[in-house]
Structures are given as C-alpha cells and as structure tokens.
Amino acid sequence: MYGGGNTFEGIKTDNLAQEDPIKLAAFEARIARGEKIEPTDWMPQLYRKQLIRMIEQHAHSEIIGALPEGTWITRAPGFKRKMSLMAKVQDEVGHAQLLYSAAETLGKSREQMIDDLINGKSKYSNIFNYPTFTWADCCFISWLVDAGAIVNQLANAKGSYGPYCRALDRICAEESFHLKYGHHCVIYLASGTAKQRQMFQEALNRWWPPMMHFFGPSDKISAHTEVLMRWKVKMGTNDEMRNQFLDMYVPKIWELGFTIPDPNLKKNESGKWEYTEPDWEEFKRVINGDGPCNKERLEVRRIAEARGKWVREALKTPKMSYVTPLA
C-alpha cells in the first residue's frame, strides 16, 4: 500500500543548470526512448534526490501501514481471515524490504532511512495516521486503501528507475491478493446482518476523507512537477490518480448499496469525477504530526528499534562491510 501524492512539494529545478548539459540530454533521451535508468548510470542530482525521497516514503508507508491492520490479527473473525490478514501484513513488511533496497541503490543507507522515519524527518502516507476502530475499518483498508495503492503503483511501475520498477512489479502482483481479499471481506459484510452493513457504512464514513487525501493535494494547489513527469519519476498528477480510483471503485461501492459521504460526488459529462474539495488544511495538519495516531505509530517503531537493538548487536560480526546493492 502507498499514498503517492505528498512527495513532490516545493522542488527546485534551479540546480539543473549546474548539470552537464550533454549528460543531461543523453539521460533525458534514454527516458524518452522508454529505457530504464540503472544505478550505475549517470543521473541528475534532482532525479536521485526525488527518487530517494519517493521510494523511501513508499517503504515507510508499507512499514507503518502494517500497524493499523496488524492490530486486527488477534481479533480477525475466524481462522481463514486471521491467516489471510497475517499473510497480508507480512507481505506489506516484505514490500518495505524491497523498497528500502531499491532506495539504497541510489546511495542512501537503510540505517539513515530508518533513523529519518523514527525522528520524523521522513514522511509516510497520511492515511495510516487514522485509527481502525472496528473490523470493518480493517476491511476498508484491505480493499480500498490497497486499491488506491495499486492505482499509484501500477502507474509508477512504468516509471524510469529500473530497481524501483522491478520492486513494484513484484509488489503489484502481491497487492492483487490484498485487493481480492479486501473485496471478499467487504462483500461478506455487505451481504451479512444489518449490524455488519452498519459497521462498514460507518467505516466508509470515517475513511472517505482520508481516502480522498490519499492521492495528495489537488493539482490546483500542488507543486509544479513537469520535470518529474518528463523524467518518469511521477507518472500522473494527483487529480488524475484520484479520478482513476474513483472511476474504478465508486461503482463497486455503490453496487453494494453503501452511501459515499459526499453529496457532490458525481461523474460529469466529460467523464471526470466531481467531488467536494477535501479539507487540505486537515491533510497538512496530519502530515505535520497532528493526526489521531501519528505519535502512536512512531512510538511503536521507536520501541521496536530500541527493543531489537541487542539482537542486532549480538548478530554483528567483524567480517561485515557494506557495499551498495547491485540492482
């Protein structure tokens, strides 16, 4: 899972003038031809910096995203659901491993990335700063947050950086399990008792605003990302991704007889979805640390790091040294 919309605020393209123009032209021509960039290829500093930022945020989102779902493993309704949820949460943590590895090929160490997560320097997807009150909240995440993630990840898998694309190919294949599992869970709630339907409707009411935030600020107010689109770092605007999600999943939600808590939600004649503008002030407030679960999420990670330190130290051997992963 992953929310990709908040990664590109305030980029400065001034330092592109300091790049070697011949190398820059060759780099852009390679991307325009549809070839992938590999770790040992020349790349502009801005490309490297933005990719590290994006892939690292994606990795953090996988790690932190495992927490609101993981909390329901012990209370999942039945053995099958428990097994499936355990496998899903293990997938998400595995995805973080793949993504940290891809970011490492760009030169940032895993130690530094984990430090930056714990001390709040790096961000992760805003949606995981909300609590999962009931099993239905967990089902919402498994189906619809993962659906949003797949929209982002399928797009990014066509990007330009080879190691990230290869990681995403594997991640998308595993996410397809999550999507089907989540839909399966929601169908069972929808076709269950009145209380079960009510549970999911209430979860939908709680999660719809964060879900609309998930794709990042509206194109009207988000930073200019033309160069990142040209370099295939960013594969679509936030509004394009949001529209694609709405196009694919609103009909499925309506099909189940649930009400989406936005009276203005409709598809216009040009095929675009219209909706009430999400509360971007809340989005900023939560991303800056003032959401319902920000402190808990980071504290859990901090405690895990502290408690695991003796194990890591015990396993260290004098023969170790670090080299950048190959691909």
Partner 1 sequence: MNSLDPRVNRLPQITEAVLPKAALDQFGTYEVFVQPKEGKPFQHEGIVHAPNLELAWVLAKETFTRRFTCASLYVVDTRDVYVSPLTEGDKNVYDVLPQVAEQSGSKKNFEIYHLVKRGKQHVHVGTVQAVLPQEAMHLAGKQFNHSKVVFNVWAIATDTIRFTTDEEKELWLTLPEKKFRDASDYKGGDKLKEFLEKSNFN
322 contacts partner 1 (rule: CB under 8 A): yes
Tell me whether residue 137 or residue 239 sits nearer to partner 1 (CB atom): 137
CB 264 to partner 1: min, Å = 20
Amino acid at 32: A
List 177, 237, 250, 282, residue binding partner 1 (CB under 8 A): 177
Tell me whether residue 41 or residue 240 sits nearer to partner 1 (CB atom): 41
> Looking at 105-113, 206-214, 216-224, 275-283, which segment touches partner 1 (CB under 8 A)?
105-113
Identify whether the C-beta of residue 292 lies closer than 8 Å to the C-beta of residue 131. yes
Nearest to 136 by CA among 186, 205, 73, 92: 186
Q: How far is Cα of residue 59 from the mean position of the Cα atoms in its chain?
A: 8
End-to-end CA distance of the chain: 23
CA–CA separation, 184 and 90 (whole Å): 19
Which pair of structure tokens corresponds to residue 270? 């040009």
CB 217 to partner 1: min, Å = 29
Amino acid at 121: K
Nearest to 58 by CA among 105, 12, 97, 112: 97
161, β-bridge pairs: 37
List 173, 194, 226, 264, residue binding partner 1 (CB under 8 A): 173
Q: Name the site residues for partner 1 (rule: CB under 8 A).
A: 30, 35-36, 38, 40-41, 71, 74, 84, 87, 90-91, 94, 97-98, 101, 104, 109-112, 114-115, 118, 131-133, 162, 165-167, 170, 173-174, 176-177, 179-181, 183-184, 187-188, 190-191, 254-257, 295-296, 299-300, 302-303, 305-307, 312, 315-317, 320-323, 325-327
